[in-house]
Amino acid sequence: MKKLTKSKVFKFFNHLTTALLFLFLIGMLFIVISSKASGGEPEVFGYQFKTVLSGSMEPDIKTGSIIAVEPGGDMERFKENDVITFMQEDERLVTHRITEVIHSGEEVLYRTKGDNNDAEDINPVLSENVVAEYTGFTIPYVGYLVNFAQSQNGAFMLLIPGFILIGYAGFAIWQAIRELDLANKKEASEEEEVV
């Protein structure tokens, strides 16, 4: 009876480990393929995922987080306190909060500031440089993983769970064969006792 319960617990953890490794492998495949296909950050159902590598928006958006942003639409629609992602002059993406909307002739500019910064950004942002709006969805620390997956060494990230899965499958097969051998030996010894 005790062995049967122990066997069930072992099988449960066996299945759980296999499922988690498989999900990790699929997740890493998705991240790498999606980011390579889009030429940048992964995209799901029209939302882009951006990696945050600075602490300018802490504590709401932690360094190393990934955030969901919604690209497209009228980039002149934003108002004070909206959080936008925009392209800076050095072609770097920044996500900051709008502190003021400036109407200058036919142009709309946004004065922005990181929540954790002491001062507003030096240059106002042209509405045409706005890339997307922050949706409020963030996952802390996963951005470090995404950033690594997009690097040249990111391909190795796919190999690691693959090798672990293969090794684990080999261990599970060896375990099953060992149990069959033990069962056959037990059956053979019982037959010898009967004779």
Give the pLDDT band (50/70/90) at residue 4: low
CA 153 to chain CA centroid, Å, is 17
> What pLDDT does 178 receive?
85
Per the rule left: phi > 0, alpha: psi between -120 and 50, beta: everything else, 128 is alpha
**What is the token pair recorded at 174?**
């060896």
Q: In what order do the strands lie in the sheet with 83-87?
A: 43-44, 47-51, 66-71, 130-139, 83-87, 93-104, 107-113, 125-126
> What pLDDT does 1 receive?
47
- The reported pTM is 0.61
Q: Is 63 exposed, middle or buried (0-12, 13-18, 19+ CB in 10 A)?
A: middle
Top pLDDT among 66 and 42 is at: 66
> What pLDDT does 42 receive?
62
* pLDDT tens readout for residues 90-117: 888 899 999 999 998 889 999 999 999 9
> What pLDDT does 190 receive?
73
Per-residue pLDDT for 155 more than 80?
Answer: no
Q: Which of 17-21, 25-29, 130-134 has the lowest mean pLDDT?
A: 25-29
- Residues near 31 by beta carbon (within 8 Å), at least 6 away in sequence: 42, 145, 146, 149
Per-residue pLDDT for 26 more than 50?
Answer: yes
Q: How many residues does the chain have?
A: 195
5-24 residues labelled b (16+ CB within 10 A) or e (exposed): eeeeeeeeeeeeeeeebeeb
Quickly tell me which residue has 């990934």 as its tokens. Answer: 66
Omega before 59 cis (within 30°)?
A: yes
Give the span between the Cα atoms of 186 and 146, in whole angstroms.
Answer: 51
> What pLDDT does 172 receive?
78
**What is the token pair recorded at 83?**
């959080």
* pLDDT tens readout for residues 161-186: 677 777 877 887 888 888 888 888 88
Active site residue 56: no
> What pLDDT does 120 receive?
94
Contact in structure between 64 and 53 (CB atoms under 8 Å) = yes
Quickly tell me which residue has 């672990």 as its tokens. Answer: 164
Q: What is the mean pLDDT of residues 121-140?
A: 92
Catalytic residue among 7, 35, 54, 65: 54
Sign, CA dihedral 149-155-159-160, equals: negative
